[in-house]
């Protein structure tokens, strides 16, 4: 049973769309298998690839990632929408990259591949348990020679900018969020849900964004993302950053990704769309 307060909160944001969106959220999430670029494997012609994502396939029921002779796993299972914020960061070889809230690690793998062993990647996760899971994922998918260029840390990312200002030219902030799709499938979590939760998370997300802005070099790029439906945690968090620190960055809303609906300050993929992916929100910021 979905609480009335939950229904009221999201209906106020999505209006007549909410009923169909809720139905889509209650379905099993869509997952793809993304080819690990370090594995030496290739996608076969028989496998169904996702449009505009040539290294991703729809898994068959009996397909599971496996260890390859190269010593790493071949595929990583994830929501296809989760790839897009990492790709939007536009990492190049030689970049200094910070993944501020990195667990479970799927986006970090994309960033590591883009560096090509030439550059530096810092992956951070405050939760000790999630940090260890992150480390295990990275070790399973990244060769030892490349792993030497990757740092795994467990700091409070909201304070990162105080200790490493102007250090990174690429920062991914996939922020902790309401994660409503997960909550809807967990009765215990749904029972604990309150309208104030999103507002509290938005305060935390704003602090993380300010920290990212401090750590980003002039001319660098920040991608902010959440898997939240709440506008408080998405465009409204960016709006607050613009109001307070808008002289320090620009939103790149003129970009045209293959997937997603345009919002005021970014894009959003919702599961009631044809793809069934998401939710996923992201905004691209350039440090001026």
Structure tokens at 283: 């905004």
Rounded Cα distance between 110 and 102, Å, is 12
**222 near 213, Cβ under 8 Å?**
yes
pTM of the model: 0.96
pLDDT recorded at residue 109:
97
Domains of the chain with CATH codes: 81-287 (3.40.50.150)
pLDDT at position 151 is: 97
Task: Name the catalytic one among 32, 41, 227, 251.
Answer: 227
For residues 209 and 174, what is the distance between their CA atoms, to the nearest angstrom? Answer: 10
The pLDDT, as a whole number, for residue 5 is 95
| pLDDT averages per 10-residue partition of the chain, 288 residues | 94 97 95 95 86 85 87 95 95 97 97 93 97 97 93 97 97 98 94 95 98 98 98 98 96 81 95 91 96
- From the list 283, 250, 155, 169, the residue with the least C-alpha distance to 215 is 169
Q: Which pLDDT does position 156 carry in this prediction?
A: 97
Question: Which stretch of DSSP H or E encloses residue 76?
Answer: strand 75-78
Whether 227 sits among the annotated catalytic residues: the reply is yes
Determine the pLDDT at residue 133.
97
In sequence order, the 6+-apart residues with CB closer than 8 A to the CB of 71 are 143, 144
């Amino acid at each position: 049973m979905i609480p009335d307060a939950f229904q009221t909160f999201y209906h106020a944001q999505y209006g007549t769309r909410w009923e169909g969106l809720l139905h889509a959220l209650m379905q099993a999430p869509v997952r793809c298998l993304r080819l690990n670029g370090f594995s030496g494997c290739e996608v076969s012609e028989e496998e169904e690839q996702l449009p505009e994502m040539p290294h991703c396939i729809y898994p068959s029921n009996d397909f599971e990632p496996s260890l390859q002779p190269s010593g790493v796993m071949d595929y990583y299972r994830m929501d296809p929408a989760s790839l897009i914020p990492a790709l939007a960061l536009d990492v190049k070889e030689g970049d200094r990259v910070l993944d501020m809230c990195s667990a479970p690690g799927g986006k970090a793998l994309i960033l590591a591949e883009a560096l090509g062993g030439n550059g530096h990647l810092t992956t951070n996760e405050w939760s000790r348990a999630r940090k260890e899971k992150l480390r295990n994922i990275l070790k399973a998918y990244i060769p030892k020679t490349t792993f030497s260029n990757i740092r795994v840390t467990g700091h409070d990312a909201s304070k990162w900018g105080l200790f490493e200002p102007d250090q990174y030219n690429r920062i991914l902030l996939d922020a902790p969020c309401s994660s409503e799709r997960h909550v809807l499938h967990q009765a215990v979590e749904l029972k604990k849900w309150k309208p104030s939760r999103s507002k509290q998370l938005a305060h935390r997300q704003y602090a993380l964004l300010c920290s990212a802005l401090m750590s980003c070099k002039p001319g660098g790029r920040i991608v902010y993302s959440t898997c939240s439906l709440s506008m408080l945690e998405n465009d409204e968090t960016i709006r607050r950053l613009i109001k307070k620190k808008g002289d320090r960055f620009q939103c790149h809303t003129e970009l045209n990704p293959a997937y997603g609906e345009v919002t005021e300050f970014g894009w959003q993929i919702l599961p009631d769309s044809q793809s069934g992916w998401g939710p996923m929100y992201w905004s691209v910021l350039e440090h001026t």
